[in-house]
Amino acid sequence: MGSFIGGELQQVLRLQITLYACRERLLAATDPEAVHDLRIALRKLRSLLRPLRGVEACDALQQQAAELGRISGPLRDLEVLIGHLQALGMHDAVSRRQSRLLDGYRALLADAALPALFAALDQWPQSWRQAAADAELRGLTKRVERRLTKQQRRLAEALVDPAHDRHRLRLLIKRVRYGAEAYPKPSGLSAKTLARLKAAQSALGDWHDLLQRLQRAEQEADLAACVDTWRTALQAAEERADLALLALQEDFIS
């Protein structure tokens, strides 16, 4: 088994152990970072698998990881909101959401997506080894390089689009950054570029969080007192995001 193929196997097995640990932390329902760490592990797993799209051994696992990421997203958003409200001293608003959070933990643990992911993870090493034995993984390194390059090209095009969509840019930046972290050498990106990707993602993340809070405030009356502050912060976040995107252009626009 080649070093690239063996390295993939080791990375997925390490992430499987991390995901099992996150599940146990969720069962305890006392760890406010369990969902966050679960989603980080899912993100790393999906970043490893995305450039391998079309390899049968990887497609089912990618699908299960994506589904668990989808259903855990709103729960993490609620955690972040509760933390923000706690920092503002809005204890009544926090209390009203704590039961929803605990219900969310229970729902996540009971959802079929969690055992489906672990079943796919259990099956994956054998499928991966069999794919290697059947010569299905020939030229895999070159395939990964081409797909990472394609992601970077899409980001470059979006960065110079005068009608750019911040939501789409945030997604493209995340894919390029996480792809480079999963495959540092094939990505060809420097530490400086990675730092700029991280800065742009962080700025866009702040903007996105504020946008979500304002949308929630339209439905949740106890957040109304925060609206003016959040609107002001949103404008500042947009400006910071645009500056970070402008700096990022230096790395992707030749």
Q: What is the pLDDT of residue 30?
A: 76
pTM flag (> 0.85)? yes
Q: Which of 115, 138, 161 is the last residue of a domain?
A: 138
Split into its structural domains, the chain has a count of 2
Q: What is the pLDDT of residue 252?
A: 86
Q: What is the pLDDT of residue 254?
A: 65
Both 146 and 46 in a single domain? Answer: no
| CA 11/CA 148 separation, integer angstroms | 18
Both 188 and 122 in a single domain? Answer: no
Using the predicted structure, report yes or no on whether residue 1 has a pLDDT greater than 80.
no
- The mean per-residue pLDDT over the stretch 131-135 comes to 89
| CA 64/CA 20 separation, integer angstroms | 15
| CA 212/CA 143 separation, integer angstroms | 37
Least confident residue range of 28-37, 165-174, 233-242: 28-37
Both 50 and 127 in a single domain? Answer: yes
Q: Which of 76, 105, 138 is the last residue of a domain?
A: 138
| CA 103/CA 147 separation, integer angstroms | 40
Both 96 and 70 in a single domain? Answer: yes
| CA 126/CA 17 separation, integer angstroms | 17
Both 237 and 132 in a single domain? Answer: no
Least confident residue range of 28-32, 137-141, 232-236: 28-32
Please tell me what DSSP assigns to residue 219: T
Which tens digits make up the pLDDT trace of 93-109? Answer: 999 999 999 999 999 99
Both 250 and 202 in a single domain? Answer: yes
| CA 70/CA 193 separation, integer angstroms | 28
Q: Which CATH number belongs to the domain containing residue 248 in this structure? A: 1.20.1440
Closest CA to 187 of 170, 175, 198, 196: 175
| CA 246/CA 204 separation, integer angstroms | 13
CB 67 within 8 A of CB 42: no
Share of the chain above pLDDT 90, in %: 83
Both 168 and 125 in a single domain? Answer: no
Q: Which domain holds residue 122?
A: 1-138
H helices present in 111-190, as ranges? 113-133, 140-159, 166-182, 184-187
| CA 62/CA 67 separation, integer angstroms | 9
Both 129 and 173 in a single domain? Answer: no
Q: Which of 111, 138, 165 is the last residue of a domain?
A: 138
Both 19 and 76 in a single domain? Answer: yes
Q: Which CATH number belongs to the domain containing residue 125 in this structure? A: 1.20.120
- The mean per-residue pLDDT over the stretch 168-176 comes to 95
Using the predicted structure, report yes or no on whether residue 116 has a pLDDT greater than 60.
yes
- The mean per-residue pLDDT over the stretch 151-164 comes to 91
Using the predicted structure, report yes or no on whether residue 86 has a pLDDT greater than 70.
yes
Both 134 and 160 in a single domain? Answer: no
Helix (H, G, I), strand (E, B) or coil at 158: helix
| CA 187/CA 101 separation, integer angstroms | 38
Using the predicted structure, report yes or no on whether residue 61 has a pLDDT greater than 60.
yes
| CA 222/CA 20 separation, integer angstroms | 37
- The mean per-residue pLDDT over the stretch 186-207 comes to 95
Both 133 and 234 in a single domain? Answer: no
Both 71 and 15 in a single domain? Answer: yes
Q: What is the pLDDT of residue 135?
A: 87
- The mean per-residue pLDDT over the stretch 199-219 comes to 95
Q: Which residues of 132-147 are buried (b: 16+ CB within 10 A; e: fewer)?
A: beeeebeebbebbbeb
